[in-house]
Amino acid sequence: MAIEIAHDVGPAHLEIAYERLGDPHAPPVLLIMGLGSQLIGWPDDLCAELVARGLQVIRFDNRDVGASSHVTAPYTLSDMAGDAAGLLDALGLASAHVVGASLGGFVAQTLAIEHPHRVRSLTSIMSSTGALSVGQPHPEALALFGGPPATTRAEVVQRMVDVFTVIGSPAYSIDRAAIAERAGRAFDRSYDPAGLLRQGRAVLASGDRTPRLRELRIPTLVIHGTADPMVDVSGGRATAAAIPGAELVVIEGMGHDLPRALWPELVRRIGELVQRA
């Protein structure tokens, strides 16, 4: 199915670009990607594996990336969660199984906290609680944010390859060709560094979710790698500790990416959570 635009989404009345894959009658899984990442940050073949598992996949561009609305006014993770809830409204879905990666995990958690009836199950991948005492980036990851910004397509693609060489999973091969291909596609769809900064400010403005996470009564899976330099594994451990009954899966040698070798395990665990929920 081609990428479509949902109009007048959520309280802010935004346009949200999305793609719906698989049987529309199958259990819906809403995928929320991380900081500055577009819907294609969820690899096509990974989405195909989820569909083959018998799931309906919905991936979308958060506000300020891709083909969704780019805004200038400040906002918070609550606003981004409202966008996700609004997209479910536009698609005629009362609820979905929600999977978030990195900042997408922050948004997914916020959606579960503020709109619990919309979330059938929650999967939080390489994410954290918002508490400053856990999940902080390592020095080598922080160093990636220095230097002059990339501007041309070639510079942006090379910068993305360089970034994932640092933050990717050391126990698994890094597919630089696939990273470059997705980075090029993302640049061609929309390149807005200011949007990335606004998303980052939304995280900083939203604070610690730990007390609210303790109130959740939603089937939850937390996945994190031991070698994640962008969001330390302590963030995943804290997330699982905060949410009653959450299952924690810590993967040795996984960094801040979704290596192809781990897709079967990720798909299996998400599928099992959906089945339990």
pLDDT tens sequence across 21-60? 999 999 999 999 999 999 999 999 999 999 999 999 999 9
Residue whose C-alpha is closest to residue 120's, from 90, 101, 98: 98
Residue boundaries of the structural domains of the chain: 4-137+193-276
In sequence order, which residues have a C-beta less than 8 Å from that of residue 156 and are 6 or more positions away? 150, 183, 187, 191
CA atoms within 13 A on the CB side of 247: 14
Structure tokens at 28: 């819906």
Task: Give me the pLDDT at residue 146, please.
Answer: 80
Task: Give me the pLDDT at residue 147, please.
Answer: 80
Sole residue written with tokens 């079967």 = 264
> What's the CA gap between 243 and 177, in Å, rounded?
38
Class of domain 4-137+193-276 as given by CATH: alpha beta
> What size, in residues, is the chain?
277
> What's the CA gap between 104 and 227, in Å, rounded?
19
> What's the CA gap between 203 and 101, in Å, rounded?
14
What's the pTM?
Answer: 0.97
Name the residue type at position 158. Answer: Q
Task: Please tell me whether residue 141 adopts helix, strand or coil conformation.
Answer: helix
Name the residue type at position 211. Answer: P
pLDDT in tens, 231-244: 999 999 999 999 99
